[in-house]
Structure 1
Amino acid sequence: MMDEMVLAALAKWPNVPAVFGWLRLDARGQWWIKDARLQHEGMVEFFNRNYSRDGQGRCYVQNGPQKVYVQLDAAPLAARRTPKGWSTVPYDDDLPARAAWLTPDGMLLLEIGGELAVVDDRDLAAVLEEALPDWDGDAATLPVALKVGDASLPLAAETLPALQARYGIVARPR
């Protein structure tokens, strides 16, 4: 839910032009303004609370009356493994995954809460070791299921652009 002050500013100034090309969300769920990673905890929390996606598939942060569109390195969410399932950034929830895909580049993506999430690379090796202990890494022998904890998720090979298209994601809004 967006901050009340953001909603009030939006109601007061509904026609402020949007901003493109300044804000980026990386595959670890970290915010970047141009080439600098955002490290101010209060700003990170503000961005996380006011992050959304429009009807055209473009992610944005509502900054007062202005939408600041977000370039995505991978997916709208980044996922970290938890004992109960997956915590997603920027929302910091704990939800089960429904499906999984492995890209030719070695990214693992999940459907979590109806949205596409990329598994944080810091968790990737441990997740793959847990879920696919006997897999030799050859795409031709990719198992049909990813077994993580008590869950068994359908698993398939797919490219990142194909997954972004399937989920209606515009990774580079203009």
Structure 2
Amino acid sequence: MASRLFASRLRPIIQIQKCRIMTVDRIGNRDVVGFGYNGEPVYVDRVDFPCPAIRWKENTPDVMALREKEKGDWKKLSVEEKRALYRASFRQTFSEIDAPTGEWKGILGMCMVLISSAIWLFLYFKTFAYPELPETFSLERRLAQLDRMKKLDMNPIDGLCARK
């Protein structure tokens, strides 16, 4: 039973997900080095989960030579070789992931365009689409109506707290 389960893990089909088959030919000649973010053999740069499931670059003869050299003493590796090894495994450094992209400028610009178009649309409708307000909305008419309501004693407030 355990051998069948282990053998099923060695098949070229790694995972079937919503009518999309993740096969070995989709990830190419890259090494699967861990479980990954959610168990799928994909590469994702994330600060909160810094260990992707596969390496960034495919295994080329240059990268394989560097990997053989890295098995020895690291003091014999040059800085350029260490950087090449890092770039073969990872696409970005943490500082490159956290670096500002400037995307907020485009978002802010689109928000300003939408707000200004909404203001212009409001002014257009206020000027051309809506009719004029009736004359009863003027301040003199409203004050006269309030005075009339007081004189006719309309909707008086009754009760314990009412002033008379």
Which structure has the highest strand share of the two? 1
Bucket of the pairwise TM-score, normalised by the shorter protein = under 0.3
Which structure has the highest helix share of the two? 2
Bigger relative contact order (CA 8 A; separation at least 6): 1
TM-score with structure 2 setting the length? 0.21
TM-score with structure 1 setting the length? 0.20
Report which of the two structures shows the higher radius of gyration computed on alpha carbons: 2
